[in-house]
Structure 1
C-alpha cells in the first residue's frame, strides 16, 4: 500500500470523524438552548477548527496555524463550488438531498486535492506511512 493511498484513506476517515464532530457540536448548542443562528455559527467555527486539526495532523502531518488562512480560503471555495454544483443540478430537476449525495465523491476529490496541493503543500511528506 503506497503512502499516497494511505493518506487518501486517512482523509476519508478524517472526513467521517469531522462530520460527526460538526453535527455533535451543532447538536450540543441546540440542546443547550442556543438560538439556531448561534448553533450554526458555533458548530461551524468549532467544526472548522477541528477539521483543520484532524486533516492537518492526521492526514497531512502539519497543524501550523500559519496555514489557517489558506485552509479558510480553501473551505470558502469548497462551499462555493458545492453551492454552484447544487444549483446546476437543480436546473435539471434534481432535489437537494439527492444532488448533495451525488456530489459527495466530486467534493471529496476536490477537497483532497485542494488540501494536498494548496493548503498543506510541502507538508504532506511529513506523515508517517
Structure 2
C-alpha cells in the first residue's frame, strides 16, 4: 500500500513535469529524459525511506539501472504511440500504469536485494 501511495506521488510528479516540459515546447523524448533524470534521486529517497525502510545510498546504482530499464520501456512505447498519431501527453498518460507496474517489479527487487546481478553480502 505504501508503494502505491508513494508511486502515485512520484508518478504524478514525473507526469506533471513531462507535461509542463512538453507544453513548453520541448520534444516528447527530451521532456521524458529530463523528467526521468530529475525524478530518479527523489524517487529513490521516497521509495527507500517510506516504502522499503532502506537507508543509505548503497543501492542507488542498482536503482538507477532499474530506472534505465523502465525508461527504455517508456521511451520505446512513447515513440510507438506517437507514430500512431497520439498526442504526447495522451500517449504518456497511457504508458503511466504499465511503467508503474514495471517500476514496482524492478524497484522492489533492487531495494530488497533480489535483483539478479546483486551479490548477497
**Contact in 1 for aligned 2:59/2:111 (Cα 8 Å):** yes
**Contact in 1 for aligned 2:11/2:96 (Cα 8 Å):** no
CA distance in 1, matches of 2:13, 2:82: 29
How far apart are 1:14 and its partner, in Å? 1.0
CA distance in 1, matches of 2:94, 2:9: 20
Structure 2 counterpart of 1:11: 3
Question: Structure 2 stretches of 5 or more lacking a match?
Answer: 18-33, 115-121
Which residue of 66, 72, 84 maps to 2:64?
A: 72
Residues 114 and 97 of structure 1: CA distance in aligned 2, closer, same or farther (over 3 Å): same
Structure 2 counterpart of 1:115: 107
**Contact in 2 for aligned 1:56/1:62 (Cα 8 Å):** yes
CA offsets per residue over residues 62-105 of structure 1, 9 Å max, x none? Answer: 13311010011111221121110001112222221111111111
Question: Structure 1 stretches of 5 or more lacking a match?
Answer: 1-8, 25-39, 124-129
TM-score (norm 1): 0.62
TM-score (norm 2): 0.65
Structure 2 counterpart of 1:61: 53
CA offsets per residue over residues 51-72 of structure 1, 9 Å max, x none? Answer: 1111012112213311010011
CA distance in 2, matches of 1:20, 1:102: 13
State the 4+ residue runs in structure 1 displaced beyond 4 angstroms: 19-24
